[in-house]
Structure 1
Amino acid sequence: MKFSVDALLFDSDETLVSSLASVSRCWLRWASEHGLTTAEILAVQPHGRPAAAIVADLLPAERVPSALAALQQAEVDDATDGGAVPVPGARELLAALPPDRWAVVTSGTRRVADARLAAAGIEARHLVTVDDITHHKPHPEPFLTAAQRLDVDPARCVAFEDAPAGLQAARAAGMLTVALTTTHDAHALTSAADVVIPDLSPVAAQLTGGGVDVTIAPSVGRPRSPDDRPAS
């Protein structure tokens, strides 16, 4: 599977950075401190959503700022203590790309994203976080913002994501979508994904005069080129 694009956009957690164990530790500890159960947290569909939105769904408004600050500090501390490592294939793929051909697009805050990316040994020149936008995923604004910063046509981008909300956001932005099964089963991702892969190890990129050629080893799904996707 091979297609040509101008830029590659990546979610952070469980797409470039494996931080699921860290997230679980921090949220479980936080939930216990605030008298919440795991079931209550899962009921608000937390994955792929900003922490601020999740906390606002779980606690009274007057408790949200302090509770959110405590959670963010815990996540930064855990990442710094080794709670984040690169997803297989991430560093190798990024090493083949110039800094202005890729960006990170995350629903996390800049502070947490910076900590996790640094812990994983990933340095992103272009990083779009929840602090930079008005509408979060599944709204297309985060991915459209990244394309604008890279000065590329959104239709000439491919987005790598592990969550349905992120895939929906990228699809709404008119981008090719590649789903990683690092947090969800393939059947939960295929409706909004052009390709489904286990991690980034099947992906290779080569810079060309007209952009970036992306090659993906055999996987579930079939990539569509930007030229043959339906008009929106």
Structure 2
Amino acid sequence: MSGVTTTPLTAAAALFDLDGTLIDSEPRSQELWRRLFAAHDIALAPALLASFGGRRGADVIAEHLHRFGPGLTPDDLRADLRRLDEETGLPEVRLKRGARILLTRLRDAGIPTALVTSGGLTYATHHLTRLGIDHFTTLVTADDVTHGKPDPEGYLLACRRLGVDPRQALVFEDSTAGIQAARASGAACIAVGDPGPAAAAETLAVVHDLADTPEIRPAVGTAHQDVAKAGSLPRDTTEN
């Protein structure tokens, strides 16, 4: 995040999305969706594929179930996705740049963290374990909420579990749906990667390497007001 002041931020908790924010899984996820739709001879426009980002798979399937023809159920399509996930040639899932560094800094600063993902618990714990990430106080997954992102339910639940006011929380998100969920919860948000101009405008800043996030200090008193002041910092959307 070049060209941005190093003025520290304050937060009572840091909440993280998983896919596209902490792990580089979007290429694999998009390829799975492409293969699923192609297996049923359904055209999938790039813009429509991009709109799946940050959302629960169950919500995407429910929204497009009618396109797969009669006789197919959501369980059928989820089974297809699991089968496709075992095929060869899929992009590898890796940890995003700077993720381990930032999570360690937050732990050292005594700031509680939560994961709020649109994936299921099995999916989330598989990747966290495989990548050696054990920093989170609580995990909120698709299995814990009735309404997925862009609904704020997941972020509100995480804040309740952590015992913090959502207005004192700082969220890290990469997708439009996720950023909308974070902002609807009342939390401030830092965008990771390139969420697009409209979504980025709703965030404090855009980072491409999580290690470049400004220092985050534990909130004391009206922490959200302090974070909001940092929101006037210029956003950098260039690649590092």
Q: TM-score range by the shorter chain?
A: 0.7 to 0.9
Match of 2:4 in 1: none
Q: Which structure is higher in strand share?
A: 1
Render the CA deviation track for 1:18-67: whole Å, top value 9, x for unaligned. 11222133222222222222228826921121111111222248421121
Match of 2:158 in 1: 146
Q: Please state how far the C-alpha of 1:204 moved relative to its aligned partner.
A: 4.9
* Alignment of 1:13 onto 2:19: yes
What TM-score do the two structures reach when normalised by structure 1?
0.79
Q: Please state how far the C-alpha of 1:71 moved relative to its aligned partner.
A: 1.4
Identity %: 33
Equivalent pair of 2:12/2:111 in contact (CA under 8 Å): no
Q: How does 1:31-180 map to 2 (within 5 A)?
A: 31-39=37-45, 42=48, 45-60=51-66, 62-72=72-82, 74-75=84-85, 77=86, 83-98=92-107, 101-123=112-134, 124-180=136-192
Q: Please state how far the C-alpha of 1:173 moved relative to its aligned partner.
A: 1.1
Render the CA deviation track for 1:157-180: whole Å, top value 9, x for unaligned. 100101111111111111111111
Q: Please state how far the C-alpha of 1:209 moved relative to its aligned partner.
A: 8.4
Equivalent pair of 1:44/1:57 in contact (CA under 8 Å): no
Q: Please state how far the C-alpha of 1:195 moved relative to its aligned partner.
A: 1.7
Secondary structure in 2 matching 1:136: coil
Tell me how large the CA RMSD over aligned residues is: 3.1
Distance 1:162 1:192 in 2: 12
Distance 1:156 1:12 in 2: 21
Secondary structure in 1 matching 2:149: coil
What TM-score do the two structures reach when normalised by structure 2?
0.76
Secondary structure in 1 matching 2:45: helix
Distance 2:193 2:76 in 1: 34
* Divergent runs of 4+, >3 A: 72-75, 204-216
Gaps of 5+ in 2: 1-6
